[in-house]
Amino acid sequence: MWWIDSGYIMFVLPALILTFWAQFNVSSTYAKYGKIYSRRGMTAEQVARMILDKNGLYHVQLGRVRGNLTDHFNPKTNIVNLSDTTCTSTSVAAIGVAAHEVGHAIQHATGYVPIKIRNSIVPVVNIASQAAIPLFIIGLFFNSGLMMDIGIWFFSAAVLFQIITLPVEFNASRRAIAILEGNYILEDEEVRGAKKVLSAAAMTYVAAAAMALAQLLRLLSMRGRRD
């Protein structure tokens, strides 16, 4: 059975538990610090614009997207998109998230190597990740070692992407905290709150990488039993 095997229990289940915990942790941490408002009274959108301008990124625009914690930077359009719950909020949590996304814009503008690598492999990873599991299952069904190996190699590309994402996200958070603190946008205790929010968010990327690696180990385990 595809879903019931020792590899699932040994590798995937612990990663799944970590993923659930990370999602709960980031939601609860954001909710907590989403109720603590910056004394300066600036919205996340205002903070994002100020940081962009201070770094000479006048060409980078600010956009708005629906949802909660759907904030992201689009390097193709040079737009920092802030979610509905972030954009107009003056909370410590929202300001931290906005500064983090601006951190990605700064990475892109300064040629930060990990983000350049990640952006360059996105098209390949999208195709490989979608094809990996179907190819592996076909190989498993027809007892084709070659098809299973191709599926594993394709899935390895997705794992690589998740691993490369980690330094990109950690670096963006470090940049955000340094900017918020160095420019006195947040006070000391507010900076600590923003740091906790970004640390919780970073754990979701760690969990995603752990899940991808666990799935790869499971595929390798299943492949080994077919030799």
Q: Over 80: is that where the pLDDT of 226 sits?
A: no
Q: Over 70: is that where the pLDDT of 27 sits?
A: yes
Please, are residues 45 and 87 in contact by the beta-carbon 8 Å criterion? yes
Catalytic, 45? Answer: no
Please, are residues 171 and 112 in contact by the beta-carbon 8 Å criterion? yes
From start to end of the chain, where are the E strands?
61-65, 72-74, 79-83
Task: Take residue 134 and report the two structure tokens written for it.
Answer: 């179907």
List the catalytic residue out of 45, 101, 169, 190: 101
Q: What is the DSSP letter of 100?
A: H
Q: What is the pLDDT of residue 225?
A: 81
Model pLDDT for residues 188-214, shown as the tens digit of each residue? 999 999 999 999 999 999 999 999 999
86: nearest Cα among 72, 107, 106: 72
Q: What is the pLDDT of residue 1?
A: 42
Backbone φ and ψ of 74, nearest 5°: -105, 105
Model pLDDT for residues 87-137, shown as the tens digit of each residue? 999 999 999 999 999 999 999 999 999 999 999 999 999 999 999 999 999
Q: What is the pLDDT of residue 32?
A: 97
